[in-house]
Structures are given as structure tokens and as C-alpha cells.
Amino acid sequence: MKELVASKSITHFSVGLTDGTDWKCGHTLSIAGCMMMLCERGNVDITINSRRYSMTEGEMAFIVFDMVVVPVKVSDDFRARFISVDYDAAQDIFFLVTSNRFWEFIYASTVFRLPDEFREVARHWFMQLDWIVATCQENTAVRVLLNEMENAMSVMAEQVEAHLGMLGTNPPKNRAWTMVNEFLGLLNRYYTHRHDVAFYADKLNITPNYLNIISKRNIGTTAKEQINIQISLVVKMLLDTTDLTVKEIAERLHYDDPSYLCRVFRKQTGLSPVQYRNRNDKRRE
């Protein structure tokens, strides 16, 4: 029987312990803004953007709203400390962390092992967050947690940059960068129903062409390419974790024409959905 664990939610934040019982294996885990999680014991198998991780004791995950996250298997003794931040607060925090190298690291290594000297520091940091939420008035707790998240990310960014030898080379962020991140947040919210750039541009009160331009400049892909990347990641997840047919996947993602979805997927992966599933099935044999 799993040990009882607890968490507490306040404005913008949820902190505490999880044993994964509230996760539905094989289904997408909803991340409103971002979540930091430190595994204390046990393990969880999880796919993030179709890359599979086995998170074990001493490993940390930094998960962002535009990632496709699917828990696959949770051990009976799994236990992890976490802090979850909603979209609005995450955007404010992200804007202050200007390290491009840090974000490259997070997207390439979403689950990573902490060096031994940092592991106990991280554990005490999470416990401190619990104490703040349990002890302070909510207004105070929210203000302190915002500062704690900003500080933690700044420290992590410095460590990543120092390790990669790129300290002090990052340009300041601007309004266009913020709009691109707003676009990514909207995409995470609406990708199952809306695949057109015009919809997202209208939400941001800019033209589709301008959204494509600032997206290309800030994340290396146009808005349309990013939509197709997001769709392909979700298709991969559904092919890997369900027995849905291509037609059923197309219906779930609101594509009237399954062949169009297949063309989008092939352009991103070089394979048709059926070829992708068959290849993975053979690898698992």
C-alpha cells in the first residue's frame, strides 16, 4: 500500500509530496505552467516529448507547459517532492531567466541527476517550500515562493552555463520573446482543436506573418512549424501508449482528413504513423 502523501495549493502554486496515485498512466499529464520535482525514492517511467525517462532517487525533473508528458509506470514506493507553478506566474519567472543555455539543457535533459553535493540542498529547499506554505500568510507565501523559484532557476542557469563554458553570453529578452512564449502557452491549451496560425495570432492581437517571424527568430521554428511539431509529438505519444487507429487519432485531434495528419507527421518524422508504430513494436519484441 502506498504511503499517504500530501500537498497544498495557494495562489499560483502547489507544493508538497506526491506518490503518483493522482496520475493516470498512459494519459497526458497536465502542466499548467511548470513543475519541478525531486525523486526521493522509488521510480517512475515517463515519456516527455516522446523521449522515455526512468526517474529514480536523486533525479530532478523540470517540466514546462509546452512539453507532452505521459506517465507510463509508477513504482509502489515512488515518492517525490514537487512545486507546481501556474501559467501566469511561470511566465513572469521565465522572463527573468535569460539563459538560453539553461533552456536548451532543460529541453534536452528534462530529467537529470543532481550532483551529490546538490542533492541534500535541493531536498531541504523543497522542505523549506512546504514550511513556507504551511506557516506563512498566503500573500507572504506567494511572494516568497516567487522569489524562491526565481533564485533557484538563476542558480541552475549559472551551473548549466558554467558547466558548458558559456557564462555571460545570453542576450536580454524582449517583448517578442514574451509573445512567443504566450503563443506556446496557447498552443499547449488549444492544439487539439486549432491548427491554424491565424487563430493564435488573433489571440495575441498580431498578424499571422508577424507571429511566424518572431517565432522563427526566438525559437528557431515558425509558428506553423511549431504547431506541427506539437501535433507530431502528441501523435507519437498516442501511437506509443494506445491502440488507437490513425483515423481515431485524427478524430481526437480534430483533423477531418486523416491523410493530412499523416502528411504532417511524415514531414516531422520521415515516417507514416503506421510505419512509426510498426518500427517501435519491432523494437519492443
What tens digit of pLDDT does each residue of 206-232 get?
999 999 998 988 888 999 999 999 999
- Rounded to 5 degrees, φ, ψ at 13 are -135, 150
pLDDT at position 239 over 60: yes
User: pLDDT-based confidence at 3, cuts 50/70/90?
Assistant: very low
DSSP letter at 256 equals: S
pLDDT band at 123 (very low <50, low <70, confident <90, very high): very high
Q: pLDDT, tens digit, for every residue of 69-79? A: 989 999 999 99
Q: Is the pLDDT of residue 11 over 60?
A: yes
Question: Which runs of E-coded beta strand occur in the chain?
Answer: 7-10, 13-18, 34-41, 43-48, 51-56, 59-64, 69-74, 79-85, 111-113
C-alpha cell at 266: 511524415
Q: What is the pLDDT of residue 30?
A: 83
Q: Comparing C-alpha atoms, which of 79, 97, 77, 78 is closest to residue 34?
A: 97
pLDDT digit string (tens) for 173-188? 677 888 888 898 889 8
Cα separation, 239 vs 21, in Å, equals: 24
Region for 157 from its dihedrals, namely left if φ exceeds 0, alpha if ψ lies in -120 to 50, beta otherwise? alpha
Span 86-100, average pLDDT: 82
Average pLDDT value for the chain: 88
Beta bridge partners of 39: 80
Which of the four pLDDT bands, split at 50, 70 and 90, describes residue 264? very high
pLDDT value for 76: 93
Q: Cell 507532452 appears where? A: 68
pTM of the full predicted structure? 0.74
